[in-house]
Chain A
């Protein structure tokens, strides 16, 4: 049996409250008392695609950032491609592609290609490999014509696609995406979902953990859905099983019944 791509065991994370007045000076030393994740445990199998679903503040981004080695958990443990993000962060990063869902994160005065080459070189990819890989990915993301323009002249959707290419450059075994289609137009989002499903998941066998508010994206991409509510895991199953568990006809309804939240708290345009 294959080892899981991601294992999370009793993971907890708390943040310190924001201090004000003169106490703000002590902020860096404040004790973490506000829980963001409460004892979350799950596994993502190799080649599997798992969606994180929850309202804002449910703990989706915190979970992804812990796995991406950008945050330290308060308690519990995790493993990404067999490595612990706390004990072996460099080994985790070698296996990991991370896209924070933001259209920031590039050097505005450099071109798209120069940015991708820079980040690729920091992942210790050779120049020759990068040249080919950037071309191939740019073609798939329909970015070939934009690669040699300075990033400051690109639209936010284009920058987001560039960011997705960056997360895929080193052919990661595990891909963590935080709202990957947030700034993409409907056509680009649909293209990207197809690319993820058939190329990244289907052909390359990459494991995917992604947070999304877009329910049709989740139904299209996810083998299983992990529902988080105020930091706790509420349910973890395939979209169909979640629907039948909640006696619901749609994922929206299942989410609403399982968490007690109305669908409007998830995203107005998600239907």
Chain B
């Protein structure tokens, strides 16, 4: 276990070191987050009304609701992209094979390479929320930070399963990823990102219940906007853990199968 954590640390250090050789992206991200938060604020000002507030689960402003939805959708996006991108990058730079003849397994390489992007995405979320709080009155003070952290971890695990499924697809088919776009597409409509799922027709609400994003957002909004403690968000948390229990081992199996298949077909490092 210590060795595995050590391996993850080497990947994190590698990515941090590579990122430190580029100067501007982080500053640009901070500026981009400001524009993003400002856009949501003015959209919210345009549509906000007492009726709308009543329809929102936490009874908060539409700005707070949509900002949480928007930034945590980013998390799903990162989970679906990160594993793919680390695989594509390793393949295109020719580092995949040298990595595969070391002592670490491909799942370790994949997860290790995902740590830095997840840390950066978490930071980006923090910056969005910080701009929201500093300039646009996002209600930061009511948050229960322990719950926020637990929801974040649970969401990360559940979303990672989806991301690893996506990289298994990439390993086999090399390019394009319909599963990724399907998950993102479905989640943007029935995940409760910019509007509550209660306003959807019944059949779409049923699909929403099969989507981990719905539970992650419900729990995150409750923890961040309502200050809900862990017992009060036990149901969405359990749902997320259930998704993790199915998706993570399932995606690892799919990935192992895809890897074995590419070692049979000789297409491991093909583009």
Contact = CB atoms under 8 A, between A and B. Distances in A.
Contacts of B10: 118, 121-122
A114 B17 contact: yes
B1 interface: no
B101 A96 contact: yes
Given A70-B100, A105-B98, A90 B105 contact: yes
B18 A107 contact: yes
A100 B97 contact: yes
A27 B174 CA distance: 11
Interface string A105-121: 11111100010001101
A105 B95 contact: yes
Interface in B72-105: 93-95, 97-105
B111 to A, nearest CB: 13
Given A30-B265, A105-B94, A107-B93, A93 B14 contact: no
**Interface-centre pick from A16, A90, A118 (highest chain B CB count, 10 A):** A118
Contacts of A100: 97-98
Contacts of A68: 101
A141 to B, nearest CB: 17
Nearest to A99: B98
A96 B267 CA distance: 22
A188 interface: no
A70 B268 contact: yes
B79 to A, nearest CB: 23
B18 A110 contact: yes
Interface stretch (B114-122, B203-211, B215-223, B256-264): B256-264
B21 interface: yes
Contact of B266 (A71, A104, A108): A71
Contact of B101 (A30, A69, A118): A69
A98 to B, nearest CB: 5
Interface residues of B, number: 34
A24 B16 CA distance: 38
Contact of A107 (B14, B172, B264, B266): B14
B144 interface: no
A243 interface: no
**Interface-centre pick from B7, B94, B261 (highest chain A CB count, 10 A):** B94
Interface in A20-60: 25, 27-30, 32
B173 interface: yes
A12 to B, nearest CB: 12
Given A68-B101, A70-B97, A106-B95, A122 B265 contact: no
Interface in B189-239: none
Contacts of A15: 265-266
A182 to B, nearest CB: 14
A241 interface: no
A122 to B, nearest CB: 4
**Interface-centre pick from A16, A70, A118, A122 (highest chain B CB count, 10 A):** A122
Contacts of B265: 15-16, 27-28, 30, 32
A107 B19 CA distance: 12
A123 B102 contact: yes
A90 B103 CA distance: 6
Interface in B146-169: none
Contacts of B262: 28
A119 B266 contact: no
Interface in A153-188: 163, 166
Contacts of A71: 263-264, 266, 268
B145 to A, nearest CB: 34
Nearest to A62: B266
B95 to A, nearest CB: 5
A28 B267 contact: yes
A124 B103 contact: yes
A192 B262 CA distance: 33
A71 B172 CA distance: 15
Given A28-B173, A108-B93, A122 B102 contact: yes
Given A104-B93, A107-B93, A107-B95, A122 B104 contact: yes
A106 to B, nearest CB: 7
A166 B105 CA distance: 18
Contact of B14 (A25, A108, A118, A163): A118
A102 B95 CA distance: 11
Interface of A: 15-16, 25, 27-30, 32, 62, 65, 68-72, 74, 90, 93-94, 96, 98, 100, 102, 104-110, 114, 118-119, 121-124, 150, 163, 166
Given A90-B105, A105-B93, 13 more contacts: A15-B265, A15-B266, A28-B258, A28-B261, A30-B265, A32-B264, A62-B266, A70-B263, A106-B98, A110-B17, A121-B6, A122-B7, A122-B103
